[in-house]
């Protein structure tokens, strides 16, 4: 992965790659030569770093190739994006292109927001996506967003500290606890712990949920799954109880997390890793890019493996798929489609992945990343354990029910069994309301 200090050079490379790609890409629907067009794009990655700098560079390269097109980003933090999109759809002010993901795709379809990209992008282009991307981006045979990247869940760890301590990456959660205890220490011998085993995302938001659900599944429970013509939850199963207890024990029993777990979301966890405060973090591959953007000296000191699992279970990985939809109401569908083809060409996909740690979803680009190896190799190994989030419009509420449950256990306001039962009650209420 590139050192973030080299992003200026990366920007130039993206521009050059765009120029080269424009010569060879399918430009049958190119915006070049058409009337002036302004494309509006609702994006969460544009406000993140280093992601936003690279995304802007790609857009700048496209505008240089197509001077009649102006691209205007509407930047919204990821935790606020779905609310923003619902409001825009309700008010008839959808942008030409908007970020979408498997957990929100059903709701976006209910809103009538996305166009069918099988028609807009064309079957030949669509066939170039990885099968898992096509599956998760398709609802009722319509591709509702173009998969741009995958950030499969894995365990990020400080490889240099592990080597110094003579420990290996954990394969089970029991081993994880042992390693976390080994990594929790007083490094300067002042009598106070100043390094902890894990940056645990304990916030009651979608960032926290995005890390907890793969852990839940690695214990053998599911938050929501299809059952006949409806849905069911296993939040109140013994396996889920063990997962909720695991969160509570990391904080209260083993004390391997720094103070402030309940308010630790993704940015805070990245800060803990980049500041040499924690040794491990459950997250997607993009976190490596974010950590190194804050502390370039960590290059070569981070590694990843598939998520640990409970005994008798397997790892689990939310593929963390994200991409872009073209609004059904857009008057600039051809220009929007042309820009997405440019965004998704191999050169831009590889440069984006190299800078951000987000894996490409075009099969040809993913093959290049896999061949290169490096600190993303562990996340590539996690892809076979990937699952597709349930396509239920109320799924975000199910996720948040899980976060409320693990917080109540961490706070010792409820036992794990009680917390799981409450999460199951809330989920079944959502299921009933959706019938």
My answer on whether 139 and 233 are in the same domain is no
| Residue 18 in domain | no
What pLDDT does 27 receive? 39
For residue 388, give the DSSP letter: P
What pLDDT does 320 receive? 86
pLDDT of residue 30 exceeding 80? no
Q: Where are the alpha helices (DSSP H) in 148-264?
A: 159-165, 173-183, 206-218, 238-252
What pLDDT does 18 receive? 45
More confident residue, 223 or 8: 223
Nearest partner of 432 among 407, 397, 406, judged by Cα:
397
My answer on whether 312 and 330 are in the same domain is no
Mean pLDDT of 309-336: 96
What pLDDT does 11 receive? 43
Band (pLDDT 50/70/90 cuts) for residue 23 is very low
Which residues, listed in sequence order, are joined to residue 327 by a DSSP beta bridge? Answer: 114
- Please give the helix or strand (H or E) that residue 321 lies within, else none: none
| Residue 158 in domain | yes
| Residue 14 in domain | no
My answer on whether 96 and 161 are in the same domain is no
pTM for the model stands at 0.74
Of 13-27, 44-58, 172-186, 374-388, give the lowest mean pLDDT range. 13-27
What pLDDT does 192 receive? 95
Burial class (CB in 10 A: 0-12, 13-18, 19+), 135: middle
Indicate which CATH number applies to the domain containing 350: 3.40.190.10
Residues 357, 293 contacting (CB under 8 angstroms): no
Band (pLDDT 50/70/90 cuts) for residue 375 is confident
My answer on whether 302 and 239 are in the same domain is yes
Per-residue b/e over 206-217, b at no fewer than 16 CB within 10 Å? bbbbbbbbbbbb
Range(s) of the domain holding residue 57: 37-151+320-387
| Residue 85 in domain | yes
Band (pLDDT 50/70/90 cuts) for residue 31 is low
Band (pLDDT 50/70/90 cuts) for residue 131 is confident
My answer on whether 213 and 234 are in the same domain is yes
My answer on whether 272 and 359 are in the same domain is no
Band (pLDDT 50/70/90 cuts) for residue 29 is very low
- pLDDT-above-70 percentage for the chain: 92
* 3-state SS class at 418: helix
pLDDT of residue 6 exceeding 50? no
Domain count, the chain: 2
Distance CA 296, CA 155 (A): 20
My answer on whether 350 and 232 are in the same domain is no
Q: pLDDT of 418-430, one tens digit each?
A: 999 999 999 999 9
What pLDDT does 298 receive? 95
What pLDDT does 191 receive? 95
Band (pLDDT 50/70/90 cuts) for residue 337 is very high
Distance CA 340, CA 396 (A): 27
Tokens, residue 136:
């998760």
My answer on whether 52 and 145 are in the same domain is yes
Residues 382, 306 contacting (CB under 8 angstroms): yes
Burial class (CB in 10 A: 0-12, 13-18, 19+), 134: middle
Band (pLDDT 50/70/90 cuts) for residue 357 is confident
Band (pLDDT 50/70/90 cuts) for residue 9 is very low
The domain boundary, picked from 387, 405, 422, lies at 387
My answer on whether 249 and 352 are in the same domain is no
My answer on whether 145 and 157 are in the same domain is no
Mean pLDDT of 400-409: 98
- Please give the helix or strand (H or E) that residue 139 lies within, else none: strand 138-139
| Residue 293 in domain | yes
Per-residue b/e over 158-195, b at no fewer than 16 CB within 10 Å? bbebbeeeebebbebbeebbebbebbbbeeeeeeeeeb
Q: Mean pLDDT in the chain?
A: 90
pLDDT of residue 24 exceeding 80? no
Of 184-198, 239-253, 286-300, 374-388, give the lowest mean pLDDT range. 374-388
My answer on whether 346 and 410 are in the same domain is no
Mutual orientation of helices 238-252 and 416-433 as an angle, nearest 10°?
Answer: 130
Distance CA 286, CA 210 (A): 13
Query: CA of 250: how far to CAs of 173, 183, 255, in Å?
Result: 11, 13, 6
More confident residue, 196 or 358: 196
| Residue 304 in domain | yes
Q: pLDDT of 70-129, one tens digit each?
A: 999 999 998 899 999 999 999 999 999 999 998 889 999 999 999 999 999 999 999 999
| Residue 42 in domain | yes
Distance CA 76, CA 74 (A): 7
Band (pLDDT 50/70/90 cuts) for residue 326 is very high
| Residue 115 in domain | yes
Query: CA of 392: how far to CAs of 206, 282, 377, in Å?
Result: 16, 25, 32
What pLDDT does 10 receive? 46
My answer on whether 379 and 397 are in the same domain is no
Band (pLDDT 50/70/90 cuts) for residue 25 is very low
Residues 345, 25 contacting (CB under 8 angstroms): yes
**How many Cβ atoms are within 10 Å of 155's Cβ, its own excluded?**
24
């Amino acid at each position: 992965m590139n050192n973030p200090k080299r992003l200026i050079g990366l920007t130039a490379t993206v521009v050059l790659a765009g120029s080269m790609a424009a010569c060879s890409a399918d430009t049958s629907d190119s915006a070049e030569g058409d009337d002036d067009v302004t494309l509006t794009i609702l994006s969460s990655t544009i406000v993140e770093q280093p992601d936003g700098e690279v995304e802007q560079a790609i857009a700048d390269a496209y505008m240089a190739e197509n001077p009649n097109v102006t691209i205007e980003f509407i930047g919204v933090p990821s935790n606020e994006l779905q609310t923003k999109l619902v409001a825009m759809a309700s008010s008839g002010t959808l942008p030409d292109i908007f970020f979408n993901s498997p957990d929100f795709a059903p709701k976006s379809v209910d809103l009538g927001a996305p166009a069918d990209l099988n028609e807009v992008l064309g079957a030949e282009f669509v066939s170039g996506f990885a099968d898992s991307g096509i599956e998760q981006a398709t609802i009722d045979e319509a591709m509702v967003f173009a998969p741009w990247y995958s950030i499969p869940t894995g365990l990020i760890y400080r490889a240099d500290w592990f080597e110094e301590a003579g420990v290996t990456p954990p394969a089970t959660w029991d081993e994880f606890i042992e390693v976390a205890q080994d990594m929790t220490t007083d490094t300067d011998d002042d009598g106070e712990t100043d390094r902890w085993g894990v940056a645990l995302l304990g916030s009651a938001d979608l960032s926290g949920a995005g890390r907890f659900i793969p852990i839940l599944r690695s214990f053998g429970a599911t938050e929501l799954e299809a059952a006949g013509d409806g849905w069911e939850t296993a939040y109140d199963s013994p396996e889920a109880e063990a997962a909720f207890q695991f969160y509570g024990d990391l904080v209260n029993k083993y004390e391997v997390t720094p103070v402030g777990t309940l308010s630790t979301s993704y940015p805070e966890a990245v800060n803990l890793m980049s500041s040499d405060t924690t040794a491990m973090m459950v997250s997607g591959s993009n976190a490596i890019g974010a950590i190194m953007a804050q502390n370039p000296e960590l290059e070569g000191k981070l590694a990843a493996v598939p998520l640990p699992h409970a005994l008798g279970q397997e790892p689990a990985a939310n593929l963390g798929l994200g991409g872009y939809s073209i609004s059904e109401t857009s008057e600039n569908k051809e220009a929007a489609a042309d820009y997405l083809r440019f965004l998704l060409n191999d050169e831009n996909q590889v440069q984006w992945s190299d800078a951000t740690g987000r894996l490409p979803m075009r099969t040809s680009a993913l093959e290049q990343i896999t061949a290169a190896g490096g600190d993303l190799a562990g996340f590539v190994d996690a892809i076979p354990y990937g699952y597709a989030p349930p396509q239920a419009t109320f799924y975000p509420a199910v996720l948040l029910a899980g976060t409320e449950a693990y917080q109540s256990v961490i706070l010792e306001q409820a036992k794990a069994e009680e917390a799981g039962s409450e999460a199951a009650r809330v989920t079944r209420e959502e299921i009933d309301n959706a019938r």
